[in-house]
């Protein structure tokens, strides 16, 4: 039986939402794979001119098209940094094709669309960002690093969210 907030208790949805917020804040305060990757083969910058978020994605991709290492650098809001941190955790060891599929699933997730293309373990890992779909202006923050990652894969050097 779910608890009522008016009685001073949280519903299960509220508890889950708070857990997701804690995960986002943890990734924002202690980002994984943060800093320039010296031996990168691919790099791109992303900029969100509406809020000022900036990110650089560094990737080391081998001749077989597998991401050997990935990192990011930059500054931005908690959602932007947390999203980049989550992304780098998931990309290491994946192929370029897998990274592009993961990006498509992530974009669907933060837009509140169908995510059946995401592997269940990836969906579970990224689910913390699903609440962003309720805030359209924050979707741009959440997707900035992902667009920069795609630009890095395509050797385009830059990406913007507008």
| % of the chain at pLDDT higher than 90 | 73
- CA dist 152 and 154 (Å) reads 5
Domain map (residue ranges) of the chain: 10-98+140-160
CB 57 within 8 A of CB 72: yes
Question: What integer is the mean pLDDT of 13-26?
Answer: 80
* Residue 160: predicted pLDDT: 61
Position of tokens 């969210």? 161
pLDDT at 156: 83
Least confident interval from 9-13, 55-59, 94-98, 126-130: 9-13
Looking up tokens 């208790």 gives 9
What is the pLDDT of the chain when averaged over all its residues? 88
| Among 74, 64, 71, 67, residue whose Cα is nearest residue 87 | 71
Q: Is the pLDDT of residue 4 over 70?
A: no
**Second-level CATH architecture of 10-98+140-160:** Alpha-Beta Complex (3.90)
Q: Tokens 């592009």 appear where?
A: 100
């Amino acid at each position: 039986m779910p608890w009522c907030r008016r009685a001073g208790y949280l519903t299960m949805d509220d508890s889950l939402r708070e857990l997701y917020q804690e995960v986002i804040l943890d990734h924002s305060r202690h980002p994984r794979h943060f800093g320039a990757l010296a031996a990168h083969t691919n790099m791109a910058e992303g900029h969100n001119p509406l809020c000022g978020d900036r990110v650089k994605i560094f990737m080391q991709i081998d001749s077989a098209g597998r991401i050997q290492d990935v990192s990011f650098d930059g500054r931005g809001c908690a959602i932007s940094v947390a999203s980049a941190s989550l992304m780098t955790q998931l990309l290491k060891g994946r192929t370029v094709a897998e990274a592009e599929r993961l990006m498509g699933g992530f974009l669907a997730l933060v837009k509140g669309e169908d995510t059946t293309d995401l592997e269940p373990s990836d969906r579970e890992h990224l689910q913390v960002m699903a609440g962003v779909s309720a805030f359209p202006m924050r979707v741009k923050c959440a997707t900035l690093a992902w667009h920069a990652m795609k630009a890095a894969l395509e050797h385009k050097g830059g990406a913007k969210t507008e």
